[in-house]
Amino acid sequence: MKGGKPMMKKEKKKTKVSGTVVWIVILVILFLASFNVIGAGHRGVLLTFGKPSIGAKGEGAHLVIPFVQSIKRMEVRTQKIETNADSASRDLQDVQTTIALNFHLSPEEVPKLYQEIGKAYRERIIDPAIQESVKAVTARFTAEELITRRPEVRTGIQEALKERLGKYFIMVDDFNIVNFQFSEEFDKAIEQKVTAEQLKLKAERDLERIKIEKEQKITQAQAEAEALRLQKQEITSDLIKLRQIEVQRLAIEKWDGILPTVTGGAIPFIELTQLAPITPVPTTE
């Protein structure tokens, strides 16, 4: 009996120590659970028995009541989505549009977003908004205009997304059209049209070149005709007479004074009145 009492005391002491250790561990766990850290680029939604608080929790450490409160983290940094959207143009051509969207959540409105939509906002809000916006805007343009008026199409889709996503506190930072993909038949038709336009442009250039060459020839011919006309104006009757006198003077200078005994034709007629008078040579007796 005496030996049993010390044993019971030891067991009680061990049990007491073990209970103390358990409580200390529990207190440490509760203490650690009371701290919640929100990292950079995130906001926290404080839930009290599942009900979100009005204000968002910023970056850093926050105290919560264990088992009563919790914090849900929401990323507010710029995020990127790249996806495809199927639609039809105004001329009923099938179009597959690859788009890239940059967005961020409004930091102040994160609790409302979580309360109304939850964390699955991409599947519930963003993806459907992209599909609807692309379809609505591409339906205003023909397939050819989607290419030639691409900046206008991009602006239209971006504005539509801003309006749709802004209602749910999702802000559009940037939007780009990566690519338009059409049916194989339409691609062939576009290729044929481009080829035809290139041939037409070449024909127009050739025609313009021919016109220029023709005008150059006409201008050259007109210049030559004008030069010829000026030359004819310079040949006057006085000039012709002067040339005739010079020819006759040269003939007299070469004549030895003896007429040919046999002639095959008429003796050239010389206009003596136009020649200088000849002084007679005196004779000596």
The predicted pLDDT at position 204 comes to 82
Tens place of pLDDT per residue across the chain (285 aa): 445 556 666 666 666 667 677 777 666 666 666 778 898 999 999 998 888 888 888 888 888 888 788 889 999 999 999 999 999 999 889 999 999 999 999 999 999 999 999 999 999 999 999 999 999 999 999 988 998 899 999 999 999 999 999 999 999 999 999 999 988 888 777 777 767 777 787 888 888 888 888 888 888 888 877 777 766 666 666 667 777 777 777 777 776 666 655 555 555 555 544 444 545 545 544
Reported pTM: 0.59
Amino acid at 110: V
Q: What is the rounded distance in angstroms from the CA atom of residue 83 to the CA atom of residue 129? A: 12
Contact 36, 64 (CB under 8 A): yes
Q: What is the rounded distance in angstroms from the CA atom of residue 177 to the CA atom of residue 158? A: 10
State the CATH class of domain 79-182. Answer: alpha beta
Q: Domain limits of the chain?
A: 16-75, 79-182
